[in-house]
Chains A and B, each alone.
Chain A
Amino acid sequence: MRAPDTNEILLEVEGVALAFGGVKALRDVSFNVRKGEIRAIIGPNGAGKTSMLNVVNGFYHPNHGAITFKGRTRAKMQPFEAARGGIARTFQNVALFKGMSALDNIMTGRTLKVRRGLLWQVLRYGPALAEEVEHRRKVEEIIDFLEIETIRKVPVGRLPYGLQKRVELGRALAMEPDLLLLDEPMAGMNLEEKEDMSRFIIDVNNHYGTTITLIEHDMAVVMDLSDRVAVLDHGVKIADGTPAEVKMSQAVIDAYLGVAH
């Protein structure tokens, strides 16, 4: 079901600059994400990768530059507007709703799809109940997909880290996004968990046709998963291309290994 590799551009980032006072997190960064691809952003610590994601989903507002998503250019937008546009994301440090069960967390991801308002929800009868059941059915599909059936009613605070990451992915998937931003989906995982998560990422891309942009430090994972890789260093894009091209780039090798002076 993987979307054919068209050259249709889903997200276009042009000349984005972001500064926090004197700290220049991003300097004139441009890249694009094609529809249906897995796009990786890599770089050493402090390269500005997470800032880049935060700019894309409206959490930071860039000082310069423009972002075009699905053909619409905008300079400033609020996070919930980005969500409504079809951008979902996960976080480097899991950002789940600690007091709620795994099921409720994923159900919360359906918020934008809920049509019945407050008065219907108070009654929870007829169409409102039918809608709730329908959302539950969709969420159960995701729960099956991610193989977390046994923990659906467990408060997420009690789950191990690897499962929390999976629930967070489920919550993002429940939004049925066009673009999924994953911020270090494999940070702090062991080998088996990384393999599981890689499989889920590939499956999401194949099965739902979701375009994915991910940040990751594990080079083996990045090189295997992604169609194209952009490399940031100190807020500047130093390389962009297929994994093989990037691997050969002298600028990338210098950034990671350092240069003899």
Chain B
Amino acid sequence: MLYREAGQFKTNYAEDMAIFPIRQDRIALAILLGIAFIGVPLLASFRIWPFRTDYLLWAILLPFLILALAAVGTNILVGYCGQISLGSGAFMAIGAYSAYKLATGVHIPLAWLGFAIAIPPLPVLASILLGGLMAACAGILFGIPSLRIKGLYLAVATLAAQFFFDWAFLRLPWFTNYAPSGSVNAPELDFFGMIVRTPVERYLLCLLFVTVMAVLAKNLVRGNLGRQWMAIRDMDIAAELIGIRPLYAKLTAFAVSSFIIGVAGALWAFVYLGSWEPLAFSIDRSLELLFMVIIGGLGSIMGSFIGAAFILIMPIMLNVIPAELGLPLSTQTITHLQFIIFGSLICYLLIKEPHGFARLISIGKEKLRLWPFPY
């Protein structure tokens, strides 16, 4: 009964077009942001439960934020524009390795021309954003086949991107600055003189990135470009007949999506992993991101966050619950259980609710608005 919009009159279109036109939603969001930006850092710095150790920050919140950002990027391409992509991991890798190269200085010897291109090491923030930009360029390149092929065939084409970049970052030593082990270390996280070191600082940095980029992404998808993407997804012929150019709509979706995924990749490498090798961005990562958007909700920014939370928390719950209940399950059984439960959930959701948890929540809200008198 608390969730009512009665009495909230909108007097102009801008108010009606707000992300959360209902006051209760705005309050809930403000509380959530308050907890995320002030509550968590406070609790963590004073080491109050549940932040007595850094486990929750390091092992759950940090990966959750970064992967949620990558899921937002994936969702723009898969959920909003309807172009199935299995190359998200590769775009994360491009973001990460480009940022790494830019932060440590680029040197391209062009011996046959008699000179070399040399870029001095850039600041970390610039490297991360330019890493995203490099991923966007690669995204456009690998998006070109989408103009001719659709659906599963396109998925196979993006798979080519995944395997190509997996190979490139593993086998071309230039990308890893000729590190003998193939593993590289992130530079010091220096943001305008502030060095980000502790888990709390890392958490806040990622939170800031994720919040800003999620808001910007939401702006895009509820604006004209977002409508163009959805039009292409729902009925490309009709979209073309009202003046949407498929080339522009599809390639912008690839570019924006890859940019966000690239930035997430750079954050994953720099802020979360610290040192990494190409395995961190394998096909498994691509599939994981795809699962997140399918479970969370295709075509929903909020769904990307829910999906990321679900995929990350599920394994931990599956670890904790049997132990709490005293069930003697071996680690292997638990891993197998994870696969079984993920697989069946995805099948179930695809059949029953293709728009995932986000749609379930919006149905719940609809019901709540009328509760307890549904007529």
Contacts and interface: CB of A to CB of B under 8 A. Distances in A.
A98 interface: yes
A110 B243 CA distance: 9
A121 B230 contact: no
Interface in A102-147: 104, 107-112, 114, 118, 121-124, 128-129, 132-133, 135-137, 140
A: interface residue count bin: 35 or more
Nearest to A168: B238
Given A80-B244, A107-B227, A137 B299 contact: no
Given A122-B219, A123-B219, A132-B223, A99 B241 contact: no
Dominant secondary structure of chain B at its interface with chain A: helix
A112 B224 CA distance: 10
Contact of B17 (A79, A84, A95, A132): A132
A133 B12 contact: yes
A91 interface: yes
Tell which of B17, B233, B241, B244 has the most Cβ of chain A within 10 Å.
B241
Which residue, B13, B223, B239, has most C-beta atoms of chain A within 10 A? B223
A104 B12 contact: no
B13 to A, nearest CB: 4
Contact of A175 (B219, B222, B243): B243
A112 B243 contact: yes
A111 B235 contact: no
A171 B235 CA distance: 14
Interface string B220-246: 101111011011011101111111110
A128 B223 CA distance: 9
Interface in B199-226: 216, 219-220, 222-225
A57 interface: yes
Contacts of A84: 243
Contact of A108 (B228, B237, B299): B228
Contact of B230 (A91, A104, A140, A171): A104
Given A97-B231, A97-B235, A111 B242 contact: yes
A59 interface: yes
A123 B219 CA distance: 7
A151 interface: no
B78 to A, nearest CB: 13
Contacts of B216: 122-123
A137 B14 CA distance: 10
B228 A99 contact: no
Contact of A83 (B230, B233, B241): B241
B252 interface: yes
Range class of the B interface residue count: 20 to 34
A98 B12 contact: no
Contacts of B234: 96-100
Contact of B13 (A80, A123, A140, A175): A140
B17 A133 contact: yes
Nearest to A121: B223
A26 interface: no
Contacts of B17: 132-133, 136
Nearest to A140: B13
Contacts of A108: 227-228, 230-231, 239, 242, 244
A208 B84 CA distance: 41
A80 B241 CA distance: 6
B8 to A, nearest CB: 15
A66 B39 CA distance: 70
B267 to A, nearest CB: 19
Given A111-B243, A133-B17, A96 B238 contact: yes
Contacts of B222: 124
Given A59-B241, A83-B242, A122-B219, A110 B235 contact: no
Contacts of A122: 216, 219-220
A166 interface: no
Interface in B231-269: 231, 233-235, 237-245, 252, 256
Nearest to A172: B242
Given A97-B235, A133-B14, A136-B13, A89 B241 contact: yes
Counting from the closest, the 9 A-B pairs by CB-CB distance are: A83-B243, A97-B234, A95-B238, A124-B219, A112-B243, A121-B223, A79-B240, A136-B13, A114-B224
25 contacts: A59-B237, A59-B241, A79-B240, A79-B241, A82-B241, A88-B241, A95-B238, A96-B234, A97-B238, A99-B230, A99-B233, A99-B234, A100-B227, A104-B230, A108-B231, A109-B242, A111-B242, A111-B243, A121-B224, A122-B220, A123-B216, A123-B219, A135-B224, A136-B17, A172-B242
Given A59-B241, A100-B230, 11 more contacts: A59-B237, A83-B240, A95-B235, A96-B238, A97-B231, A108-B230, A111-B224, A111-B243, A111-B244, A132-B224, A133-B17
